Structure 1
Amino acid sequence: MSSTPQEDRLVALLRQHGVDGQPVYGLAAWSAFKAYGREVFGPQSIGLLFQVGTYDFTGSPLFHFDPVCQFEITDADGEHDHFEQLHCELTCSPDAALSGMEASLWSFDYPTADAFFAAVEALPAFQASVERSDYTLSVSHETV
């Protein structure tokens, strides 16, 4: 499977922030995502999303710490065609500390990337999940 330029840039930033292999420290991955988010933040066609929660997508529940960058793709006339999302998804087995933790926050209501990041970092769900060092990382770019 070939990667996109967006995936390649995020992976390069992850490496610069000490994320190279598994398991992954949540704060290191978040720092890399913040660097990426600062690079792309600005156009109304790009949104940043922070989402966490326990979900059963594969037959067994996993806790997901998933910062996302969403890109609006337009057609030749400049009209909306579709969205693409770049995920920096961290997963781990849920435990008592993560039980019931769920949050979702978009950047569209914030004037700067740093204002959005500050709002995310103030969330109890962020605080409870960012310090973990047992995450598995998956970087993916998908059409939604």
Structure 2
Amino acid sequence: MIETNKAKQTLEEMLQEANVRFEEPDCVQIWEVFKKFSDIKVNCSDDAMLFQSGVYDFTGEDLFSLGYVRQFIFEVDGEYDHMEQLEITIYFRPNQELEQFEANLWTNDCNSKKEFFHLVENMKEFQIPIEKFIPIEFEIEQEEV
């Protein structure tokens, strides 16, 4: 089990070990590392995962993004205290085709983590961007939400 303050570092190390290149991100390779990272226990009350895609202005300009998110939920004395999210965001130049691929899927909407991964991998919002378009960059952030 790792502490949440080591989660981002652990994920970054896993990406490095998989030879993921920040300057030429491979969406499938990053997804596979994210799936492996989901098996690492994190010291929190509960956690969930989210896949999201769409055109957003996270960077100050409208870019299409794929987001692989792990959310950590914390309680104190059995009461909700706060949440943190660790997110990999992969950016693409937007175009008319990508603009139609907006989606959100939480593990909480699925019966199991396996079902979540299966559903994401079969979504056109996941498949088409990674099959047809080249990402321009990706980033990893962890913050309290």
Work out whether residues 97 and 128 of structure 1, in 8 Å CA contact, stay in contact via their aligned partners in 2.
Answer: no
TM-score in terms of structure 1 length = 0.86
Identity among equivalent positions (%) equals 31
Change (3 A) 1:113 1:55: same
CA contact (8 A) 2:92 2:134 kept: no
Unaligned runs of 5+ in 2: none
In structure 2, do the counterparts of structure 1 residues 130 and 4 end up closer, same or farther at CA, with 3 Å as the change threshold?
farther
Partner letter of residue 105 of structure 2?
L
Q: Which amino acid aligns with 1:82?
A: H
Residue 78 of structure 2 corresponds to which residue in structure 1?
Answer: 78
Q: How many residues align?
A: 140
Q: In the superposition, relative to structure 1, how do residues 98 and 40 fare at CA in structure 2: closer, same or farther (>3 Å)?
A: farther
TM-score by length of 2: 0.85
Query: How large is the RMSD of aligned CA atoms in angstroms?
Result: 2.2
Show CA shifts across 1:76-119 (max 9, x none): x1211011100011112112441211110000133432221001
User: How far apart in 2 are the matches of 1:35 and 1:59?
Assistant: 31
Work out whether 1:107 is the aligned partner of 2:107.
yes
5 Å-filtered alignment, 1:1-144, equals: 4-40=5-41, 45-75=46-76, 77-131=77-131, 132-144=133-145
Shift of the 59–12 alpha-carbon distance from structure 1 to 2, 3 Å rule, reads closer
AA paired with 1:8?
Q
Using the TM superposition, give the Cα deviation of residue 49 of structure 1 relative to its aligned residue in structure 2, in angstroms. 0.3
More helix by percentage: 2
Residue 56 of structure 2 aligns with an amino acid whose one-letter code is Y
